[in-house]
Amino acid sequence: MKNSTQLRQQTLVILKRFETLKYVDVADREVSEHFKGQLCECIQLMEDFEKTEVGFRFEKNKIMQLQRLEVMFNSGAVPAEYLEISYDFLIGCLWIKFAPIFAGVHSAVGAIVRNTTGEFRQKLVEKHTKLVRTLSLLS
C-alpha cells in the first residue's frame, strides 16, 4: 500500500522468490479448463505494472495490465493467498498521480471483493472501510 515505487518493486521481487502457486479449480468448467495446471501470474503482472513507466505514452499498457488482473480475479481462479497481496498492491496504485489508471484500479479492487467469500471477504470489506474513513478524515 506504500507510495514508494522502489519499495513496491523490491517487495514484488521478494514475493517472486517464493514458489508460485497454481490457479485453483472453479465451478465454471470452461474457466477451470482454461487455467488448469497453470501458474498464477498475479505477482508477475503486478511487477510488470510497477516497472512500466507512468505517462500518457504507457497509459494503455498500464490499463491493459490492470484489466488482465481484473479478469483473473473475476474468474475466481486466483489462489486466496494472492488476493490480499493484490488488494494492497492495487490500493497502493492510487498513490500514483496518474488519473487514467484510477478507474482500472477501482474496478480490479471491486473484482477482488466481489469474488471472495466468508471471513476473508469480511476482512477485506472492514479493511477497505477503515481505509475510506481514514481518507475522508484526511480530506
pTM across the whole model: 0.86
In the chain, domain spans: 5-138
Please compute, for residue 10, the number of CA atoms within 13 A of its CA located in the half-sphere on the CB side.
6
Low-confidence ranges of the chain (pLDDT < 50): none
Looking at residue 47, its pLDDT comes to: 95
Helix/strand/coil (H/E/C) assignment for every residue in 85-130: HHHHHHHHHCCCCCHHHHHHHHHHHHHHHHCCCHHHHHHHHHHHHH
Looking at residue 94, its pLDDT comes to: 85
Beta pairing partners, 22: 39
Looking at residue 139, its pLDDT comes to: 56
